[in-house]
Amino acid sequence: MKNITIGEVAEQAKVSKSTVSQYLNKRYEYMSEATRKRIEAAIEELNYHPNIVARSLKQKSTFTVGVIVANILHSFSTQILRTIENDLNKTGFHVIICNADDQPEKERNYIEMLLAKQVDGLIIFPTGGNIDLYEQMKKKNFPVVFMDRKIEELGIDTVMLDNHQAARMAISEFVESDYTKISIITTSIIRNTSPRVERIEGYKAAMTEHGLPVLPEYIKTADAEDLQGVLQELFALEAPPEAILAGNDIVLIEVLKFAKEHRLAIPGDVAVIGIDEVSFASFYTPPITVVAQPTIKMANKATELLLEQINSENKTARTAIYRLQPSLIKRDSC
């Protein structure tokens, strides 16, 4: 019923605890063949498994990292999560997944709990609402990497999309197809998260470059539940947009719903490009053109950076923001 300990193994094998410990840590150099066999047998017989918690207490390493996503509803998050989990497990780490739900208070809680649990590192999609905590970890040299969003002036490794480029690619694509009335819609969160801001900036820059006017009424931001209303407004305009850039998968879905309900032909009545690849893009009618994030590469990079931090003693770790390039997947919605 109860868990057996190293002591009981030692007893069973007629040796001392430390000898068993040696064995467990594969330091059998100074150990007779005979005792080794005995220990092996004892472990087998008792079905002994070392208590990692106790080991962690001593060794200061739990082989566990925490991942805090801003919002688990985005397909982007789950894709990233999937490959982080995969990468990290290969290295023998477990990952505790937490969903901050875009709420800084939740994020704060998670960070504190995870630190108290002595995780070896953290990958965070920061809400931006806990600068003090971020700074504290940075100062303590605790392994952290940010994903998707950057927090300026903090010097924390960050991997994110080249959002400017993502917006540009989409706009160029629209322009090539001779659309000029182009709208961008993003989901809003209270804080000005960098992806949202940057995508809008990129949109503006690209529009200007193409000699197109930047009209505020074409730039929309709303919570998921208000998206239909926003779309109503957009199409009630005197000059409704001919093309919509959906800032993420959730927006894209709402746009497609709207188009369906209002019998707007894509791309006839309105062209659409989404940021973030979605499961149905390739076989939708029409197939949806999309600017895809290199989620696998991003996740790989993040775990790589984190492991580097975890395994390096030197505090002179140079930090950087890694911007990965999006790719346009041309299909027929534009």
Query: Of 32 and 314, which CB lies nearer to a copy of itself in the complex structure?
Result: 314
Query: Of 10 and 288, which CB lies nearer to a copy of itself in the complex structure?
Result: 288
Q: One symbol per residue from 55 to 94: x for binding a copy of itself (CB under 8 A), - otherwise; what is it?
A: -xx----x-x-------xx----x--xx--xx--x----x
Euclidean distance between CA atoms 194 and 294, whole angstroms: 18
Long-range contacts for 232-235 (Cβ within 8 Å, ≥24 apart)?
234/183, 234/185, 235/262, 235/264
Q: Given the rule CB under 7 A, which of 31-39, 124-132, 263-271, 288-296 is the region that contacts DNA?
A: 31-39
Q: Report the amino acid identity of residue 67.
A: V
Q: Are 170 and 291 in contact (CB under 8 A)?
A: yes
Q: Are 48 and 4 in contact (CB under 8 A)?
A: yes
Q: One symbol per residue from 254 to 293: x for binding a copy of itself (CB under 8 A), - otherwise; what is it?
A: --xx--xx----------------xxx-xxxx--------
Which token pair is 194?
């960098």
Among 180, 169, 184, 160, smallest CA distance to 323 is for: 160
Q: Given the rule CB under 8 A, which of 38-46, 152-160, 188-196, 252-260 is the region that contacts a copy of itself?
A: 252-260
Contacting DNA (CB under 7 A), which of 11, 41, 47, 58?
A: 58
Q: Which residues, other chains included, contact 16 with Cβ-Cβ below 8 Å and sequence gap of 6+? A: 10
- CB under 5 to 8 A by kind: which of a copy of itself, DNA, none does 210 bind? none
Residues 133-172 that bind a copy of itself (CB under 8 A): 136, 140-141
Interaction site with a copy of itself (CB under 8 A): 1, 47, 49-54, 56-57, 62, 64, 72-73, 78, 81-82, 85-86, 89, 94-99, 112-118, 136, 140-141, 253, 256-257, 260-261, 278-280, 282-285
Interaction site with DNA (CB under 7 A): 2-3, 5-7, 14-19, 21-22, 24-25, 29-32, 34-36, 50-51, 54-55, 57-59
